[in-house]
Amino acid sequence: MSTYCVGDIHGCYDELELLLKQISFNPATDFLLTTGDVIGRGPKPVETLNFLLRNRDRIVSVLGNHDLSLLRNYHLYSALKDQQAKQQFLNNLKSTELAKILHEPNGHEMLEYLRHCPMTYLDRNRNIFISHAGLSPEWSIADAVENGEHVENVLRSDHFGNLMENMFSDRQRSWAPIRNEIRNRICREQLKDPEKIRHAVDYEDGSYDFMALSPSLELDRCIYTINALTRMRFCHSDLSLDFDCKDKPKENKNQDLSPWYKFHNPKLKKSQLLIFGHWAALEGRDPSDSIIALDTGCVWNGALSLINIDEPHKRYSVKACH
Ligand SMILES: [Mn+2]
């Protein structure tokens, strides 16, 4: 019984099959983790999602920006009432991915599967953390997991559509002001109605529900979380997220920018293994012994890479062949 982690698949199903053959992956006994972006740009989204769906008990896939973008299009499509408008919407999309998925008899099941994927993966026994883009320098692992769970709850709730319509905003790029506003608001509410807030809010153990306090603050929190967990590459010196630069770290000329993993994070223990994908320009070069970069750009004619998490520095890979 082994646990493996594969980088961004992006619908490159043929390469995934070859890679799993190479390690003799057995879905009856082994486990597979992915760094997210299982679809997007690549040739075989349907085959990839069907594979994940078939083996859903043995696979955990964290959500990437492309996965969320597909869910967003699915929401916008579903909200349209007449068939002509729906078809027009599909025609106007840059990619035929959603149309291909909806054409399948189990298309909705695939999309529902994706909607129930987690934002982060944490193995507390083995100290392994996975998210699509990495760990914000403003966050501990616990912060990432807690805020990620919050987004997961919204994704699965009636507020799903509102989040889909508003996410991918570049405005929420720093955590500190959002965290401070949450604390201030809780203090104010506590003064107004201590009894109500005592039941609704327990900030310390993270089980608070402040949707009732401020839907817009709630949304800001979700958007920052999605930005940090699925879109981050470089951060500014004030730790805010940058959304423009996709260069290789060496080629970046902006002195104010550094890759997120270059900022000293006092909340991160050395024994913690952190695995991420998303940044194909890193070409799979690990930033450190405990930070593993797994996206080797299969969809860009690179390769698909995988590790056994008990031997995280040994790579298995298959060159792009689509
Ligand atoms: Mn990505």
For residue 50, report the distance from its CA to the centre of ligand 1, in Å.
20
- pLDDT category, 191, cuts 50, 70, 90? confident
Same-domain check for residues 262 and 274:
no
Tokens of 168: 């991918």
pLDDT value of position 196: 60
Q: In sequence order, which residues have a C-beta less than 8 Å from that of residue 10 and are 6 or more positions away?
A: 37, 38, 39, 40, 41, 42, 66, 298, 299
User: Of 220, 249, 267, which residue sits at a domain end?
Assistant: 267
pLDDT value of position 207: 43
Q: Which domain holds residue 48?
A: 1-135+268-322
Higher pLDDT, 124 or 209: 124
pLDDT value of position 211: 56
For residue 120, report the distance from its CA to the centre of ligand 1, in Å.
14
Same-domain check for residues 62 and 207:
no
For residue 75, report the distance from its CA to the centre of ligand 1, in Å.
20
Residue 94 CB neighbour total at 10 angstroms: 6
Residue 75 CB neighbour total at 10 angstroms: 17
For residue 38, report the distance from its CA to the centre of ligand 1, in Å.
9
Same-domain check for residues 255 and 288:
no
Q: Count how many domains the chain has.
A: 2
Residue type, 211: M
Lowest mean pLDDT among 88-92, 184-188, 254-258, 259-263: 184-188
Report which secondary-structure segment, H or E, holds 316: strand 311-319
Q: What percent of the residues of the chain are helix, what percent strand, and what percent coil, each to the nearest 5?
A: 45, 15, 40
For residue 243, report the distance from its CA to the centre of ligand 1, in Å.
12
User: Of 267, 282, 308, which residue sits at a domain end?
Assistant: 267
For residue 142, report the distance from its CA to the centre of ligand 1, in Å.
22
For residue 106, report the distance from its CA to the centre of ligand 1, in Å.
25
Tokens of 37: 């972006």
Max CA-CA distance within the chain? 63
User: Cα–Cα distance between 210 and 201 in angstroms, integer?
Assistant: 7
- pLDDT category, 270, cuts 50, 70, 90? confident
Same-domain check for residues 162 and 227:
yes
For residue 125, report the distance from its CA to the centre of ligand 1, in Å.
27
CB-CB contact of 86 with 102 (8 Å): no
Tokens of 142: 């616990």
Residue type, 280: A
Tokens of 275: 């695995």
Same-domain check for residues 170 and 80:
no
For residue 197, report the distance from its CA to the centre of ligand 1, in Å.
38
Q: In sequence order, which residues have a C-beta less than 8 Å from that of residue 87 and are 6 or more positions away?
A: none
Report which secondary-structure segment, H or E, holds 215: helix 215-230
CATH number at residue 97: 3.60.21.10
Task: Write the pLDDT tens digit of every residue in 4-48.
Answer: 999 999 999 999 999 999 999 999 999 999 999 999 999 999 999
Same-domain check for residues 186 and 305:
no
For residue 117, report the distance from its CA to the centre of ligand 1, in Å.
15
**What is the CA angle 140-146-148, rounded to 5?**
100
CA neighbor of 239 nearest in space, from 178, 189, 168: 178
User: Cα–Cα distance between 103 and 85 in angstroms, integer?
Assistant: 17
Q: What percentage of residues in the chain have a pLDDT greater than 70?
A: 93
CB-CB contact of 202 with 110 (8 Å): no
Residue 276, φ and ψ in degrees, nearest 5? -145, 165
Same-domain check for residues 98 and 152:
no
Residue 272 CB neighbour total at 10 angstroms: 18
CA dihedral 227, 243, 307, 290 (to 10 degrees): -90
Q: What is the mean pLDDT of residues 138-165?
A: 93
Q: What percentage of residues in the chain have a pLDDT greater than 90?
A: 83
For residue 70, report the distance from its CA to the centre of ligand 1, in Å.
12
Cβ-count burial 14-52 (b if 16+ within 10 Å, e if not): bbbbebbeebebeeeebbbbbbbbbbbbbebbbbbbbbb
Higher pLDDT, 91 or 205: 91
Same-domain check for residues 26 and 175:
no
Same-domain check for residues 278 and 260:
no
Same-domain check for residues 279 and 254:
no
- pLDDT category, 197, cuts 50, 70, 90? low
Task: Write the pLDDT tens digit of every residue in 71-101.
Answer: 999 999 999 999 999 999 999 999 999 999 9
Q: Who surrounds ion ligand 1 at CB < 5 A?
A: 37, 64-65, 278
Q: How many Cα atoms are found within 13 Å in the side-chain-facing hemisphere of 174?
A: 9
CB-CB contact of 159 with 216 (8 Å): no
On the question of pLDDT at 195 being above 80, the answer is: no
Interaxial angle between packed helices 107-115 and 65-79, expressed in degrees from 0 to 180 and rounded to the nearest 10? 120
User: Cα–Cα distance between 142 and 169 in angstroms, integer?
Assistant: 24
Lowest mean pLDDT among 70-79, 263-272, 307-316: 263-272
Higher pLDDT, 210 or 162: 162
User: Of 249, 267, 285, which residue sits at a domain end?
Assistant: 267
Predicted structure pTM score: 0.93
Same-domain check for residues 246 and 160:
yes
Residue with tokens 């349907």: 46
Same-domain check for residues 238 and 298:
no
